[in-house]
Structure 1
Amino acid sequence: MKTFALLIIMWIMGIWQLHCQYYDVSIKPVKQDLYISAKYRIWIPEPVRKIRGIIIRQHGCGINAKDNGLNHANDLQWQALAKKYNMALLGTELIGKEACSEWFNIEGGSGKALLKALKKLAKISNHSELEEVPWALWGHSGGAYWCTDILFEYPEKVLCAIPRSGGLAFTKLWNPLVKQVPVLWMAGENDLVDGFDYVREMTKKSFYSYRRYGAIWSIAIDPKADHGNRKGRSFAIRWMDAVLSMRLSNNGNNPIQLDSHGHWLGNLETNEIKTALEVKNELSDWGWLPNEDIAKNWQEFVQTGWVSDSTPPPIPLQLKIERSEGRCILSWKSEIDIESGIKQFNIYRDNELMGIVHGQEHNFHDAPEPVDIKFEFIHDLENKDGQITIESENFQGIKGFRSQGVYDQHN
């Protein structure tokens, strides 16, 4: 009876815990709010005692984007980035009464809903710091407008932001504090919305509006993309990784302020990259880049729409074999390649490929597909002994080292 009562209370409060690492909450609108529903899912890495920040992934407009919204918290590649810095990963599902702008303009209540959600999540997860830690923002389309609103409303809490195909920085009330926040504006070369070609130029105009005054902002146009995210994460994750390493503080929640020395620049017209000391004028034509490696990544991305990788993915660990009802169940654990994800796991018996377990891809909205991945391989028992090993293969086609073997013995 106590358990049943607890479940009822959690349902009434809009709270539901999916697993030990996932927590869901919902925030009901108040009278003046323009949104109908606001739901949030957070992933918290284990066994982290204290969360240092939250990566917030905000979906865009439309039913498909909304339906995929919460699943951004289930994205294994973004989880790997969050885990690297002891950060949480947050996905949302926001619905307006009529227009998408009712939720992506935070004045409609979605900004306050986020704060309420973090308060609830802090309580049910026993991570009280979730109310205070800084945010790294990513948003697509309508979500990019939302990210821009959050950036301008709470610049002191934002570690960095990546608005992809949206956001109007040049229409906002002037706010000099946002100049100190690294922002990566992204769009596709053929970025059409409802048949209109305005997103790319709007993105450039947003970038220029503050870059000309020294904002540490970047811009990256994918030459092969439309409004969908395509392979943008191959650069976006690398860029955010570099910025988080510079901005996250070990002493308190205030992001570290970056100076103007030691960084690199990328030219929007020529795709040249240079150190900051080499560029004397016309700063607005050059995007800010945190270091030489990211500058080279940026140059490759704006020319090819992709960032190549030469490093192997992590080795699968803790292989285990169980037998049940005439089947053999092979399970394992694995870290995820931050730069290139995991395309598949290749299963071998005595060095002969016996099966493939597919990893997690991403869709138009950059949401994960499928949502949940089980690191297991099930097959019918065969009257054949052998040494089982597994290797990871990332989305660049690079294979990692084989795991330690486990002997599959049937007699």
Structure 2
Amino acid sequence: MSNIITRVAGRTAFLLLALCANSAHSQTFDVALPSGKNYDQAQFRMWVPENAQTIKAALVLVPGSNGDGRDQVDTALWRDFATEQQLALVGVYMTDKLHDDMFIEHYVNVAQGSGDALLDALTQFAGRSDRPELGSAPLLFWGMSAGGEYNYEFALWRPERVAAFVVNKGGIYYSALASKEARQVPGLF
């Protein structure tokens, strides 16, 4: 009987050590910002892979209308890609303040404050993770619906920060014309 207990205890200890070793090197951080001019909630989750010596870019995952994308940083597909490319993953949860036309998301108009919320979160992540490169790292955006609108608007607003973006169906765009710099940012609609 004691032989069985010893084997079970040994296996349990091994599993616990393996789990701790796997999570000890990757980093996950959460940031929540106060309500802003064009958004109610702005919450972000960042994940950094264990093998990343220097973060090459941050992949920002923005879901559809008022959706919570923070759990997307836990997805194996995104983590595998981030690990291979040495990227930070940033999941976004942003919601609108109540207004008359709730089918149009005001937070996608990044020049009105929601873009600065993302930049502020990245600055906080840079300090908390001891990875200063995050404060100025190139941004890759993936988003659907309102998330795609946010991505496109961000590329027009701060083209120097955006390496590329994906818009998976967007409906309302606040910026009519892209600047010369913004037209140089690779995008997929």
TM tier relative to shorter chain: 0.7 to 0.9
Distance in 1, matches of 2:117 and 2:61, equals: 15
SS of residue paired to 2:148: helix
**How much does 1:169 deviate?**
6.5
Superposition RMSD in Å: 2.0
**How much does 1:156 deviate?**
1.6
Say whether residues 1:110 and 2:119 are aligned partners.
no
Alignment of 1:381-400 (within 5 A): none
TM-score, with normalisation over the residues of structure 1? 0.37
Aligned match of 2:80: 80
User: When the two structures are aligned, how many residues end up with a matched partner?
Assistant: 162
**How much does 1:29 deviate?**
2.7
Say whether residues 1:92 and 2:92 are aligned partners.
yes
Counterpart AA for 2:88? A
Aligned match of 2:46: 42
Contact 2:123 2:135 in 1 (8 A): yes
Aligned match of 2:144: 140
SS of residue paired to 1:133: coil
Distance in 2, matches of 1:167 and 1:160, equals: 19
Say whether residues 1:131 and 2:135 are aligned partners.
yes
SS of residue paired to 2:125: helix
Name which one, 1 or 2, has greater alpha-carbon Rg.
Answer: 1
> As a proportion of its length, which structure holds more strand?
1
Aligned match of 1:71: 71
Give deviations 1:60-88, integer Å, cap 9, x for gaps. 115xxx2x421111121012111111111
> As a proportion of its length, which structure holds more helix?
2
Which among 22, 27, 33 is matched to residue 27 of structure 1?
33
Q: Can you give the 5+ residue segments of structure 2 that lack an aligned partner in the other structure?
A: 1-22
Counterpart AA for 1:75? T
**How much does 1:108 deviate?**
3.3
Counterpart AA for 2:97? K
Distance in 2, matches of 1:142 and 1:169, equals: 9
SS of residue paired to 2:55: coil
Distance in 2, matches of 1:102 and 1:70, equals: 20
Give deviations 1:336-361, integer Å, cap 9, x for gaps. xxxxxxxxxxxxxxxxxxxxxxxxxx
Say whether residues 1:166 and 2:170 are aligned partners.
yes
Q: 1:178/1:149 Cα in 2 relative to 1: closer, same or farther (>3 Å)?
A: same
**How much does 1:168 deviate?**
5.6
Q: 1:122/1:167 Cα in 2 relative to 1: closer, same or farther (>3 Å)?
A: farther
Which one has more relative contact order, counting CA pairs under 8 Å at least 6 apart?
A: 2
What percent of counterpart residues are identical? 28
Contact 1:51 1:86 in 2 (8 A): yes
Q: 1:177/1:37 Cα in 2 relative to 1: closer, same or farther (>3 Å)?
A: same
